[in-house]
Chain A
């Protein structure tokens, strides 16, 4: 088991609402949602730095839309 550290997070009401909503929708804890976000963000950042692009593709129409990540 990885060693863990605790931190306090300051979120706006809207941010907390979004977090609550995602946690409820996915049936995950808020910590798990934030952990997912961090994993994804780190992966995306490195792929973009390597020259990759991030797209959303419609499952049926096959239309692609590029997602801008700064």
Chain B
């Protein structure tokens, strides 16, 4: 039986956060239903783009009614984001662990994200005024959580379409070795260390997550002081929005170290 957990999305039209739900195990029927709503919107949007001579998004052909059939197997899990009984995003995970290719994590079990997509009305590439933001991020967070539940310590992997690479670079790192040798897609992995903390730091400090990754020591810290401050802050912070005095001090120290390193 699936669970529904409250989350927040950004309503782009008002700039306000709205309540939504994360569904940890979306059924095949729910995916079919979402496809039934998404597909007419997608087709209409694609017709408009053709008339306006605007290029289509690379995943224009994705068909969730086909992907839903994977849910007949234990090898797949679908997670969704719902707002007012309308599916706003879906993510298909492989529950058969892959082996990490990340240096220092080689061979460790990793959860692979097969597909992840926001509803077409939330995509800037399809909608004239996208409705909600934050869906991809909420789904990635759910994937990290699932990875932890599975004993994979938050490790994730995926192949990204070229148009989505900028998004994934905010959270993940391109690895040198792609397990699919002839893939034309870019292979990304995320480790446990970089997953939630880096995103929170990036949000709080309004800095690019990729640069924070380097600073936090996941790649290589250019400065011992920066590395130490980042680690101390990361160890203390739990919820960026509600910092206690100790966490706030750690944040100030970290920002100071960043400024000195700049």
Contacts and interface: CB of A to CB of B under 8 A. Distances in A.
A29 interface: yes
A42 interface: yes
Interface string B69-113: 000111100000000000000000001110000000000110000
Contact of A39 (B72, B75, B151): B75
Contacts of B165: none
B73 A1 contact: no
B96 A40 contact: yes
Interface in A13-39: 26-29, 32, 36, 38-39
Contacts of A46: 72-73
A1 B3 contact: yes
A36 B97 contact: yes
A26 B25 contact: no
B46 to A, nearest CB: 32
Given A2-B1, A40-B75, A32 B25 contact: no
B150 interface: yes
A4 B148 CA distance: 18
Given A2-B1, A32-B150, A32-B151, A39 B109 contact: no
A59 interface: yes
B24 interface: yes
A28 B151 contact: yes
A26 B75 CA distance: 18
> Top 8 closest A-B pairs, CB basis?
A39-B74, A43-B75, A28-B151, A39-B75, A32-B151, A43-B73, A39-B96, A26-B109
27 contacts: A1-B1, A1-B3, A1-B24, A2-B1, A3-B1, A26-B97, A26-B108, A27-B108, A27-B109, A27-B153, A28-B109, A28-B151, A29-B151, A32-B150, A36-B97, A38-B74, A39-B74, A39-B75, A39-B96, A40-B75, A40-B96, A42-B74, A42-B75, A43-B73, A43-B74, A43-B75, A46-B73
Interface of B: 1, 3, 24-25, 72-75, 95-97, 108-109, 150-151, 153, 181
